Structure 1
Amino acid sequence: MLRSFLLYTALVFGANAAFAGEVDWAAAHGAGLVKLVPNEDRPAVPDTEFTDPEGGSHSLADYRGKVVLLNFWATWCAPCREEMPSLDRLQTDMGGEDFQVVTVATGRNPPAKIDKFFEETGVRNLPVLLDPKQQLARDLGVLGLPVTVLIDREGREVARLIGDADWASEPARQVIRQMTAD
């Protein structure tokens, strides 16, 4: 109990300024993000194209210079339904010049079903982006849903979480604050 309190306290009050921009993964894990796994190799994410409902073309290169929380989901995915409102709150509260939540519906997800899903779950501030042939998901090794990939400003994967999480939680917000610290 005391250990958890100390880890959470450290997470809440942030890391030493000398370590700004570095994430205290152990504190994040101890504070509740137990499924978040850091990637020490930090490979570059692919610039595979994905689309929007209007047919516009996008890639992760569009977000270079920002910290990105990339979430793969689908309208039929029950854990995604639970997770999406917290992603929406995180984007509402922290999204901007330095940080962006990017949600990509992978596989067959007709825009009308996405609109209905967003309406039913109360999502208002997340982009509608599509990976209908699952090429981006395959290129990133996504085997199930939901999967969230944290990407640094240089376009490298720094961590991955398989399954759902409360992305509006204080531990998740602290990870984003640490990643966006200059």
Structure 2
Amino acid sequence: MKRTFLMLLAAFLMVGTSCGKNSNGIEEVVPENEQPAQTPKAVLKKIDASLTGKAVFKAIAENYEGKVVVLDFWATWCGPCRMAMKQIDAIKDELVKKGAIFVYVTGDTSPQADFDAMYKGIAGDHYRLPDAQWKTVLNQFGISGIPYYMILKKDGSIAYTHMGYPGNDELKMQAEIALSEQAQ
């Protein structure tokens, strides 16, 4: 009975909730530009820590010009974020084979040690932004909770956004729509 209750509670949290904003502390990130490359492993990417305003997200998006990108805004302390990542693994390989790139963005509200331990097990490109840059991106897109998903078309325009885990069927469908537009 207790196990059933916990399973139902976990399912409810995944489908119907998201984590709200949380901010604490600022850590310095060493700026470093790297060439984009989606691999079956986790790749830590960094952007210039001096970037501000819309230049922050632009610097991330420009790394993936000509690609369909599934962005996942998350945090290590966000239970629904972590549960959704596990669910999305079921569709990730198929979408990557079709040409999608998975990019994970978090702020330094995710403690460095927790982030270092977690990101290596999540295939895709990862950005851990300093607090000011993280808040800039959240404000730029009106993101008031995580997980938050955004799909970018090949031309860099936004094809889809959703706060909270939308479910694999919805996320896959939206990514495939963007991928089909890429071929046109």
- TM-score, with length taken from structure 1: 0.59
Letter of the aligned partner of 1:141 in structure 2? G
- Structure 1: which 5+ residue stretches go unaligned? 1-32, 35-48
State whether structure 2 residue 179 is matched by structure 1 residue 180: yes
Deviations 1:44-80 (A, max 9, x none): xxxxx99885755451111111111111100111110
Question: Counterpart of 1:142?
Answer: 143
Q: Are residues 69 and 136 of structure 1, via their aligned partners in 2, closer, same or farther at CA, if it must alter by over 3 Å?
A: same
Which structure 2 residues correspond to residues 18-33 of structure 1 after superposition, within 5 A?
none
After superposition, the Cα gap between the structure-2 partners of 1:153 and 1:53, relative to the gap in structure 1 and judged at 3 Å, is closer
Total equivalences in the alignment: 132
Are residues 50 and 71 of structure 1, via their aligned partners in 2, closer, same or farther at CA, if it must alter by over 3 Å? Answer: farther
In structure 2, do the counterparts of structure 1 residues 140 and 56 end up closer, same or farther at CA, with 3 Å as the change threshold? same
Q: Look up the SS of the partner of 1:75 in the other structure.
A: coil
Q: Check conservation: 2:98, 2:179, Cα contact below 8 A.
A: no
Contact kept in structure 1, 2:80 and 2:147, CA below 8 Å: yes
Structure 2 partner of 1:128: 126
Structure 2 gap segments, 5+ residues each: 1-14, 17-30, 34-42, 49-58
Any idea what SS the aligned residue of 2:146 has?
coil
Runs of 4+ in 1 over 4 A off after TM superposition: 49-58
Q: Against the structure 1 CA distance between its residues 50 and 142, is the aligned structure 2 distance closer, same or farther, given a 3 Å change threshold?
A: farther
Backbone CA RMSD of aligned residues: 3.2
Gap change, CA 1:71 and 1:127, over 3 Å in 2: same
> In the aligned structure 2, how far is the partner of 1:50 from the partner of 1:81?
27
Counterparts of 2:119 and 2:178 in 1: how far apart (Å)? 28
Q: Does the 8 A contact of 1:88 with 1:126 survive in 2?
A: no
Question: Partner amino acid for 2:153?
Answer: D
TM-score by length of 2: 0.58
What is the distance in 1 between the residues matched to 2:171 and 2:76? 24
